[in-house]
A and B are shown apart, each in its own frame.
Chain A
Amino acid sequence: MAYIKAVGLVRVGRYFDRSYKDLALEAIEKALSDGGRPGYVVVSSMMAESALKQLDIGSVLTEWLGMTPVPAIRVEAGENSGLAAVEVGAAIAEATGKEVLVVGVEKGTEYPTTKTYGDYSHILEWETETVRNVRPPDLAALAMEEYMRRYGVSREELTAWPVKMHRNAARVPHAQLRFEIRADAVPAATKISGSLTLLDMFPIGDGAAAILVSKERGDSPIQVAGAYASTGLRYYLRDDPLHLAATAEALQKALKLTGGEQAIEIHDSYSIYAYLILESAGLAPKGRAPAEVDGMEWVNVSGGLKARGHPFGATGVYQVAELFTLMTDGLGGRTYTGEWGVAHGMSGHDGNARVVVLRRV
Chain B
Amino acid sequence: MRPERRAGIVSWGTYIPPRRLRAAEIAQLWGFAPEVPKGLWIEEKAVAAVDEDTVTMGWYAARSAIRRAGIDPSQIEAVFVGTESKPYAVKPSATIIGDALGVNTRKLATDMEFACRAGGEGIRFGIALVASGQARYALAIGADTAQANPGDVLEFTAASGAAAYIVGPAEEAAAEFEGVVTYVTDTPDFWRREGSRYPGHGEIFTGDPAYFHHIMSSVKLLMTELGLGPEDFDYAVFHQPNGKFPLKVGKRLGFPKEKILPGIVTPWLGNTYNGSALIGLAKVLERAEPGQRILVATFGSGAGSDAFSIIVKKGIKERVKKAPTVEELLQSKVYISYGEYAKHRRILHRNVGG
For A16, list chain B residues within 8 Å (CB).
205, 208-209
- Per-position contact with B for A77-117: 1 when CB-CB < 8 Å, else 0? 00000000000000000000000000000000100110000
B308 to nearest A CB, angstroms? Answer: 28
With A16-B209, A17-B209 as given contacts, are A113 and B35 in contact (CB-CB < 8 Å)?
A: no
For B1, list chain A residues within 8 Å (CB).
none
For B208, list chain A residues within 8 Å (CB).
14, 16
Residue in chain B with minimal CB distance to A114 = B203
A176 to nearest B CB, angstroms? Answer: 13
Within 8 A of B (CB), among A257-281: none
For B205, list chain A residues within 8 Å (CB).
16, 109
Complex: A109 Cα to B33 Cα, angstroms: 23
B195 to nearest A CB, angstroms? Answer: 20
With A16-B209, A17-B209 as given contacts, are A190 and B33 in contact (CB-CB < 8 Å)?
A: yes
- B36 part of interface (Cβ distance < 8 Å): yes
Picked from B35, B39, B204, the residue with its CB within 8 Å of the CB of A14 is B204
- A288 part of interface (Cβ distance < 8 Å): no
For A190, list chain B residues within 8 Å (CB).
33, 35-36, 39
For A188, list chain B residues within 8 Å (CB).
35
Complex: A17 Cα to B202 Cα, angstroms: 14
Sorting the interface of chain B by its residue count into under 10, 10 to 19, 20 to 34 or 35 or more gives: 10 to 19
Task: Summarize A's interface: helix, strand, loop or mixed.
Answer: loop
With A16-B209, A17-B209 as given contacts, are A113 and B203 in contact (CB-CB < 8 Å)?
A: yes
Picked from B35, B36, B203, B209, the residue with its CB within 8 Å of the CB of A112 is B203
Residues A189 and B209 in contact, CB atoms below 8 Å apart: no
A191 to nearest B CB, angstroms? Answer: 5
Complex: A191 Cα to B201 Cα, angstroms: 22
For B201, list chain A residues within 8 Å (CB).
112
For A17, list chain B residues within 8 Å (CB).
209
A91 to nearest B CB, angstroms? Answer: 39
Complex: A188 Cα to B36 Cα, angstroms: 11
With most chain B CB atoms within 10 A of its CB, the pick from A16, A189, A190 is A16
Within 8 A of A (CB), among B203-246: 203-205, 208-209
For B202, list chain A residues within 8 Å (CB).
112
B105 to nearest A CB, angstroms? Answer: 47
B203 to nearest A CB, angstroms? Answer: 5
Residue in chain B with minimal CB distance to A197 = B33
For A113, list chain B residues within 8 Å (CB).
203
Complex: A286 Cα to B106 Cα, angstroms: 83
A226 to nearest B CB, angstroms? Answer: 40
Extra 12 A-B pairs, beta carbons < 8 Å, given A112-B202, A113-B203, A190-B35 = A14-B208, A16-B205, A16-B208, A109-B204, A112-B201, A112-B203, A188-B35, A189-B35, A190-B33, A190-B36, A190-B39, A191-B33
17 sampled A-B residue pairs with Cβ under 8 A: A14-B204, A14-B208, A16-B205, A16-B208, A16-B209, A17-B209, A109-B204, A109-B205, A112-B201, A112-B202, A112-B203, A113-B203, A188-B35, A190-B33, A190-B35, A190-B36, A191-B33
